């Protein structure tokens, strides 16, 4: 872990500051509006950390009934003229913990709160920010960017805060943009809180499935002025777990909408973030979710159903089998005729789900060796993912007609 103090006199802080102000506001505008204006294929379901930058939440929302936890620790070495080496010699490290707890209340709707301790902005020690996020437009893998709307209350600022965020992916490059409004912005101590508007833009470059570089910049464009906020991070997906991790540097100690919109002058915090999805309460048995384990919706077979038993209309049934192994769906692109039943067989030592991105249907947790079936009775494109491992994504394209060509009828298509 790199730790160092940044004071106003440090040379390393000065150039960044200057560069930020010169071009960043223009970049910010671009980053906000490009995602909203451009339509490209291959946008994917966002994943914590790997698909976003340290100070931007993106448009991702956790699945219904999932609990999602993020913790970020940001450190600052304080003292007089101290450097990182002084941590062994009397300099003090101050930690600025922040965390987020979110719950999937409805499909595409999360409620939760963010907490930031030792907030440099609040004046007081803590910021609490209860919020709700609506994933208004989810990425569909071939259409428009995703959009999310967040409404929040910042208890320290006594402010109603809103954010409209968008996100899009061009292959390895992901772009994030956000517009934020605050009814009472934290200000630089002098004046009373006034309304403010802020913009934020970020980018993520995927290096491998498990590694990405990300950064963002944010600043107020109306209302009380403040320093630009920035962050940079090495984003890491921990293989074979649903967890992600980030090593980050930023000039923001708070994780709230307001906190991430204003930089703390002359300070660089170094830290890390860790994300913990509680992937479906089914994992926890009857303690949290008595309904789980019995069929909760007509469309989803209960886990113990002998799915491989031949159905009554076996002769008419068309089944395509897909394995799940190595934390991948065997085929990420599958094309089948209408009426096909797709059967997923879990060959991994860990449980997965097959969950429609649009929330129309989902499997329960499919344990090792278990299977799940879903019949596609209408044509269209169906994106799905694994709830515990959101980077597991695939698509089924369902087309009219059968692939064993039937004799053409006059009105056949």
**Which residues here bind Cu ion, judged by CB under 5 A?**
352, 386, 388-389, 392
Q: Which two three-digit tokens encode residue 96? A: 């600025």
Q: Residue for token digits 């060509």?
A: 405
Choice between 147 and 386, CB closer to Cu ion = 386
Q: How far is the CB of 359 from Cu ion (least distance, A)?
A: 17
Query: In angstroms, what is the minimal distance from the CB of 236 to Cu ion?
Result: 18
Q: Pick between residue 202 and residue 388 the one whose CB is nearest to Cu ion.
A: 388
Nearer to Cu ion, 16 or 343 (CB): 343
Give the tokens for residue 176: 């994030």
d(CA 349, CA 353): 13
Nearest distance from C-beta of residue 36 to Cu ion, angstroms? 31
Q: With respect to Cu ion, which residue has the nearer C-beta, 264 or 396?
A: 396
For residue 174 the two structure tokens come to: 């992901």
Q: How far is the CB of 51 from Cu ion (least distance, A)?
A: 16
Residue with Cβ nearer Cu ion (73 or 352): 352
CA angle 131, 134, 137 (to 5 degrees): 155
- b/e 380-398 (16+ beta carbons within 10 angstroms → b): eebbbbbbbbbbbbbbbeb
CB 275 within 8 A of CB 238: no
- Looking at residue 311, the DSSP 8-state letter turns out to be P
Residue 48: CB minimum distance to Cu ion, A: 14
* Tokens describing residue 330: 């065997």
Task: Supply the minimum distance, in Å, between the C-beta of residue 63 and Cu ion.
Answer: 12
| Nearest residue (CB) to Cu ion, 54 versus 280 | 280
Q: How far apart are the C-alpha atoms of 91 and 80, rounded to whole Å?
A: 8
User: Which position has the token pair 């020690």?
Assistant: 125
């Amino acid at each position: 872990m790199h730790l160092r103090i940044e004071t106003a006199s440090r040379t390393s802080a000065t150039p960044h500051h200057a560069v930020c102000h010169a071009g960043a506001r223009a970049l910010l505008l671009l980053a906000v509006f490009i995602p909203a204006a451009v339509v490209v294929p291959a946008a994917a379901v966002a994943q914590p950390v790997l698909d976003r930058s340290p100070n931007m939440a993106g448009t991702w929302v956790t699945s219904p009934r999932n609990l999602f936890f993020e913790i970020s620790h940001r450190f600052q070495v304080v003292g007089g003229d101290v450097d990182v080496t002084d941590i062994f010699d009397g300099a003090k490290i101050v930690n600025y913990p922040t965390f987020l707890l979110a719950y999937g209340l409805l499909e595409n709707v999360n409620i939760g709160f963010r907490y930031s301790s030792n907030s440099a902005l609040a004046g007081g020690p803590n910021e609490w920010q209860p919020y709700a996020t609506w994933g208004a437009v989810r990425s569909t893998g071939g259409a428009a960017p995703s959009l999310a709307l967040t409404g929040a209350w910042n208890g320290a600022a006594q402010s109603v805060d809103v954010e409209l965020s968008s996100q899009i992916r061009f292959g390895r490059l992901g772009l994030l943009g956000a517009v934020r409004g605050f009814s009472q912005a934290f200000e630089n101590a002098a004046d009373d809180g006034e309304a403010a508007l802020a913009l934020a833009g970020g980018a993520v470059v995927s290096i491998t499935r498990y590694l990405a570089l990300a950064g963002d910049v944010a600043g107020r464009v109306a209302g009380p002025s403040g320093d630009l906020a920035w962050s940079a991070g090495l984003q890491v997906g921990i293989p074979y777990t649903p967890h992600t991790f980030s090593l980050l540097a930023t000039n923001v100690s708070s994780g709230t909408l307001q906190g991430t919109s204003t930089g703390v002058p002359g300070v660089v915090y170094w830290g890390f973030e860790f994300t913990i999805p509680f992937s479906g309460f089914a994992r926890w048995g009857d303690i949290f979710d008595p309904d789980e384990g019995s069929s909760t919706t007509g469309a989803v077979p209960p886990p113990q159903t002998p799915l491989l038993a031949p159905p009554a209309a076996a002769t008419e049934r068309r089944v395509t089998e897909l394995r799940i192994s190595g934390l991948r769906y065997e085929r990420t692109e599958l094309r089948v005729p209408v009426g096909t039943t797709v059967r997923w067989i879990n060959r991994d030592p860990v449980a997965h789900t097959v969950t429609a991105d649009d929330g129309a249907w989902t499997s329960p947790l499919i344990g090792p060796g278990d299977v799940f079936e879903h019949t596609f009775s209408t044509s269209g494109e169906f994106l799905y993912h694994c709830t515990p491992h959101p980077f597991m994504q695939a698509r089924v394209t369902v087309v009219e007609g059968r692939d064993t060509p039937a004799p053409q009828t006059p009105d056949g298509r």
